[in-house]
Chains A and B, each alone.
Chain A
Amino acid sequence: MSALATAAPVVYQLNFGALGYGLAAIGPGIGIGLVFGHAIEAMARQPEATARISLYMWIGFSLTEILALLGLVVPFIFHAA
């Protein structure tokens, strides 16, 4: 037998959980971009309302961010054995 045949076969496993989380992170990514983009636009239009706008900006950011963070559970549940 040649050394090639006796070597243990390398098994590659696809981690579907990580793949799923990668897909799930797209939406919040777009969402956070929209939140900050529009907040900056609003602040540029009305600099005197900056304090009020940034309060709502952080609330919107946190609501969007939680979507990505909840998905973090998935790779730990559906990991390759």
Chain B
Amino acid sequence: MIGDVRVVADAAGGCHLFSGCGFPAPGLQNFNFKPLFSVGSFHFTKPMLIAVLCTVIVIAFFWAAFRKPKLVPRGIQNLGELGILAVRDQILRPSLGRKGDVYLPFLVSLFFYIFLMNLMELIPVFQFPAMSRIGFVVPLAIMVYGLYLYLGFKNQGAWGYISNMWPRGVPWPVYIILIPVELLRFFIIQPFTLGIRLFANMFAGHLLLVIFTVATWYLASFTIGLLFAVGSAAMVLFVFVLELLIDLLQAFIFTTLTATYIASALEAQH
């Protein structure tokens, strides 16, 4: 129920090196959870709990920080402003410029929600990135895609948006290849890769952590295997730190790409 600790223990059990059983390789079964409770046919699982918890934490944090904003920030407002300014100066300003500050609330909440969801893979007790279930990623991708389609049609007009996408300045035979590629890029590849990237990174990261944790348990016996168990435990620490970096990076990239897509919808790309 709680954490992968039990999944690991279930998978490795009393199973150690030289005890006659093979390595219990982690796989897709590590991403399925027994429901915590069920209402009819609706099953509430751990990833859902994590998602709800992350939403509440992000809302509560920014609520606490900016409930009564003061000109000279004190306490938690300092922290909130630090986060907002980081998103504004590193993500929003380079792609959207000063006029894009309208989209700051959206990007800030997107960044911190994804970051916290990713970070849940490292926090004990939870130890599961909810984003490694693609169902949690798809709504975000659809939301971003819907937003930049809407902005594009609103700012450039229905016909203007399509005609601005039309590649210019190439000899006509190139159009035969270029137009399908452009259509494919815009309607399939952009929203698809936006979601898949986040999902696959979290999936691979979680799998890496589970593999080395299970291997540590599997190798830990009073044989020569103990030596390798130490190496595997060191790898767990290394992957832990690596995942810390990747969690931040994926939240950053998702938000950066959102900002660039919005920027391309706001004005024609020439």
Interface set of A (CB-CB < 8 Å, partner B): 51-52, 54-55, 58-59, 61-63, 65-66, 69-70, 72, 76, 79
Which of chain A's residues has its CB closest to B28's CB?
Answer: A76
- Are A55 and B200 neighbours in the complex by a CB distance under 8 Å? no
Number of A-B contacts (CB under 8 A): 38
Interface set of B (CB-CB < 8 Å, partner A): 27-28, 93-95, 193, 196-197, 200-201, 203-204, 252-253, 256-257, 260
Instruction: Compute how far the CA of A69 lies from the CA of B131 in the bound complex, rounded to whole angstroms.
Output: 15
- Are A58 and B252 neighbours in the complex by a CB distance under 8 Å? yes
Q: Shortest CB–CB separation between residue B8 and chain A, in angstroms?
A: 20
Q: Given A51-B94, A52-B94, A66-B193, verify A58-B200 contact (CB < 8 Å).
A: no
Residues of A within 8 A of B27 (CB): 76, 79
Which of chain A's residues has its CB closest to B93's CB?
Answer: A51
- Are A69 and B260 neighbours in the complex by a CB distance under 8 Å? no
Which of chain A's residues has its CB closest to B259's CB?
Answer: A55
Contact with A69, one of B28, B94, B201, B256 (Cβ below 8 angstroms):
B201
Residues of A within 8 A of B197 (CB): 62, 65-66, 69
Residues of B within 8 A of A69 (CB): 196-197, 200-201, 204
8 contacts between A and B (CB under 8 A): A52-B94, A55-B95, A61-B253, A62-B193, A66-B193, A66-B196, A66-B197, A69-B197
Pairs A-B, 9 closest by C-beta atoms: A69-B200, A55-B94, A66-B193, A51-B94, A62-B253, A66-B197, A58-B256, A72-B200, A55-B95
Residues of A within 8 A of B196 (CB): 66, 69-70
Residues of B within 8 A of A61 (CB): 253
Q: Shortest CB–CB separation between residue A35 and chain B, in angstroms?
A: 13
Residues of A within 8 A of B193 (CB): 62-63, 66
- Are A55 and B256 neighbours in the complex by a CB distance under 8 Å? yes
Which of chain B's residues has its CB closest to A58's CB?
Answer: B256
Beyond A55-B260, A69-B200, 20 additional contacts (C-beta under 8 Å) are A51-B94, A52-B94, A54-B94, A55-B94, A55-B95, A58-B252, A58-B253, A58-B256, A62-B197, A62-B257, A65-B197, A66-B193, A66-B196, A66-B197, A66-B200, A69-B197, A72-B203, A76-B27, A76-B28, A79-B27
Q: Shortest CB–CB separation between residue A8 and chain B, in angstroms?
A: 11
Residues of A within 8 A of B252 (CB): 58
Instruction: Compute how far the CA of A38 lies from the CA of B3 in the bound complex, rounded to whole angstroms.
Output: 42
Instruction: Compute how far the CA of A81 lies from the CA of B204 in the bound complex, rounded to whole angstroms.
Output: 21
Instruction: Compute how far the CA of A54 lies from the CA of B90 in the bound complex, rounded to whole angstroms.
Output: 10
- Are A59 and B256 neighbours in the complex by a CB distance under 8 Å? yes
Instruction: Compute how far the CA of A72 lies from the CA of B193 in the bound complex, rounded to whole angstroms.
Output: 14
Q: Shortest CB–CB separation between residue A64 and chain B, in angstroms?
A: 11
